[in-house]
Amino acid sequence: MRQADQRPTIAILGAGLIGVGWAALFQHHGADVRVWDPESEALVALPARLKAPLAQLAQVAPDAGPAGRLTVCDTLAEAVAGAALIQENAPESIAVKHALYGEVEPLMDTDAILASSTSALTWSDLSPGLNDPARLITAHPFNPPHLVPLVEIYGPDDARVARAEAIYRFAGRVPVRLKKDATGHIANRLASALWREAVFMVQDGIADVEAIDAALVNGPGLRWSVLGAHMAYHLGGGAGGMEGYLAHLGPSQERRWAALGAPTLGEDVQAALVAGVAREAAGRDIAQLEAIRDAALIAALKARKEAPNV
Amino acid sequence: MRQADQRPTIAILGAGLIGVGWAALFQHHGADVRVWDPESEALVALPARLKAPLAQLAQVAPDAGPAGRLTVCDTLAEAVAGAALIQENAPESIAVKHALYGEVEPLMDTDAILASSTSALTWSDLSPGLNDPARLITAHPFNPPHLVPLVEIYGPDDARVARAEAIYRFAGRVPVRLKKDATGHIANRLASALWREAVFMVQDGIADVEAIDAALVNGPGLRWSVLGAHMAYHLGGGAGGMEGYLAHLGPSQERRWAALGAPTLGEDVQAALVAGVAREAAGRDIAQLEAIRDAALIAALKARKEAPNV
């Protein structure tokens, strides 16, 4: 059983898509959650918007124990006071986030963690202006944040990063640590590199959008859901593992890298991408596709077994 | 119920890892399978080597109906005669495959399909020398072929490609068609593009091997097991879908592509990769890791639901 004193107090700043996901996640796992948003409409809508992710979490993590308390806060001070972790989900603007941090820092506990969900910005972009930059970490979830386990973390203060990791693990997340900050963290760098080649194949006429997506989902994507890219080459090297792979096939891999494409998102390619996903969607709108995706993610998560990288 | 006349006759040429996977797959799904290998030792070992993949298939596809007949053939002629599909799994050498095709072509039915499992070579590499090049297709499975559903197909004869697709679907595969042949087909181009950035992040000191693999498996890899890369950007574009994504974030995606890395597999990087997978393996040898991978793949496949790209 979890003890009451193991329940962290979490401030969620910003009640958009990502903030709502975080709020549901932490509440489901028993944290004391306080949500603030500068737009009062977002706070009014919050209880209704929490219903779907909370219902999904009940399927994915039915053994999480009693849910925590969720407080909708009218003021930033009310949300931040006494919070161990302050998860910031403001728009992706350095100016907006800097202004917010200027308000948050005087209100937060000395050893609290200010964690930015930023996707596009880095710790180096965001830390200037803080009196104590060590208070800030980047902690990027992968959409949808209450279902996909990954949280990518960078911060210069090892003790704070370790405390943050413990809190994310409490909420069923898999924290992964960067050694230095990088645009796109880890996952979006991988996604961007893969999509570049996916777009190139459309541009070059190698395959249609729907063929590329079907190949990914039924091939490497499925395998990458249980096995990392490095580990896959370790197992692809026969008895020699990664060492054997690099010795025998390293040079051919370097040649293959050199032959990969560098597409540009010109009008023709954009039109092909839009038409391709429209064929895939087959009349299903975004909300319908998201619901199907979420049900499939929930089934995949419930089925998860020990795996080389799980 | 399947009718006996719906059961295709399949020749499997080469009883290595890939050939054994194909043989188990087609036998499990009720085909009449004939296996030939130039090495008699490989044929002697075949029954024992089929046991594990057949047991796995019984878990993944328990409703496949009665298994087919599997014949170990002493001669190429015995394997090929009357086969609708001849799945070639010879070593990745143009000369070896050309020599084999020279023997196969006179033995095969006029409208039979000669399908190469080649990973590294293309239809353009392999078709010269055939009297009727239209008989050849490339049909690349993704390892392990009896578990991962993808088969990537290229061939110039639409009617033959369509017949091949029907046969692969009969065996529970998801065939995906290329519009022109390309080194690495689709899936290994995607895998190669992703691994390039994964290696770059190790080389550049952004993250350790095990952090990158954990990020992939718990983030984009999980999502790509239900949702293709193109479709993911369609859902990431908000209500505007892919069109909105390209309009708002296309330029930043192009900048991100320009900032991705171009690593080289030098000694230091190789050492870091080998040490990294050794830490991940944590003492588990290749066979143990493969068994864990397969169990995880089987669990993921059994849990598969309708998804945008499944």
Q: pLDDT of B284-308, one tens digit each?
A: 999 999 999 999 999 999 998 777 7
Query: What's the confidence (pLDDT) of residue B3?
Result: 46
Pairing type for strands A113-116 and A136-141 reads: parallel
Helices (H), B183-228: 187-203, 209-218, 220-224
Mean of per-residue pLDDT scores for chain A: 94
Query: What's the confidence (pLDDT) of residue B2?
Result: 45
Element (H, E) at B278: helix B267-281
Distance CA B310, CA A218 (A): 7
Q: Do A222 and B218 touch (CB under 8 A)?
A: no
Full 3-state SS string of B27-78 = HHCCCEEEEECCCHHHHHHHHHHHHHHHHHHHHHCCCCCCCCCEEECCCHHH
Q: What is the CATH number of domain A4-177?
A: 3.40.50.720
Query: What's the confidence (pLDDT) of residue B1?
Result: 39
| CA B2, chain centre distance (Å) | 26
Compare all CA atoms of chain A with the CA of B286 and give the residue at the minimum distance. A235
Instruction: Map tokens 């692969």 to a residue.
Output: B168
pLDDT per position as a tens digit, B74-95: 999 999 999 999 999 999 999 9
B209 to chain A: which residues are within 8 Å by CB?
230
Nearest alpha-carbon partner for B92 in B26, B61, B138: B138
User: What is the share, in percent, of chain A residues with pLDDT greater than 70?
Assistant: 97
Q: Are B97 and B116 in contact (CB under 8 A)?
A: yes
Is pLDDT of B243 > 70?
Answer: yes
End-to-end CA distance of chain B: 24
Is pLDDT of B112 > 50?
Answer: yes
Question: What number is the average pLDDT over the span A153-157?
Answer: 98
Q: Which amino acid is at A251?
A: P
Query: What's the confidence (pLDDT) of residue A5?
Result: 53
Give me A197's structure tokens.
């080649």
Is pLDDT of A3 > 50?
Answer: no
Query: What's the confidence (pLDDT) of residue A276?
Result: 96
Query: What's the confidence (pLDDT) of residue B238?
Result: 78
Instruction: Map tokens 């087609």 to a residue.
Output: B26
Compare all CA atoms of chain B with the CA of A173 and give the residue at the minimum distance. B218
Cα-based angle B190, B194, B197 (whole degrees, multiple of 5): 150
CA distances to B54, B55, B62, B162, B292 from B58, in Å? 6, 5, 5, 27, 17
CA distances to A15, A285, B246 from A295, in Å? 23, 16, 27
- At the topology level, CATH places domain B187-302 in N-(1-d-carboxylethyl)-l-norvaline Dehydrogenase; domain 2 (1.10.1040)
Query: What's the confidence (pLDDT) of residue B47?
Result: 96
Is pLDDT of A125 > 50?
Answer: yes
Nearest alpha-carbon partner for A66 in A20, A31, A22, A24: A31
Query: What's the confidence (pLDDT) of residue A305?
Result: 73
Element (H, E) at B138: strand B136-141
Distance CA A23, CA A46 (A): 9
Question: What number is the average pLDDT over the span A178-186?
Answer: 96
Give me B264's structure tokens.
């080289």
Q: Which CATH superfamily is domain A189-302 in?
A: N-(1-d-carboxylethyl)-l-norvaline Dehydrogenase; domain 2 (1.10.1040.10)
Length of chain B: 310
Q: What are the extents of the domains in chain A? A: 4-177, 189-302
Nearest alpha-carbon partner for B184 in B196, B172, B173: B196
Q: Which of residues 225-284 of A touch B (CB under 8 A)?
A: 225-236, 238-239, 241-243, 246, 250-254, 256-257, 259-260, 262, 264-265, 270, 273-274, 276-277, 280-281, 284
For residue B238, the tally of other CB atoms under 10 A from its CB is 11
Q: Are A197 and A261 in contact (CB under 8 A)?
A: yes
Query: What's the confidence (pLDDT) of residue A193?
Result: 97
Query: What's the confidence (pLDDT) of residue A236?
Result: 82
Mean of per-residue pLDDT scores for chain B: 94
Query: What's the confidence (pLDDT) of residue A10?
Result: 98
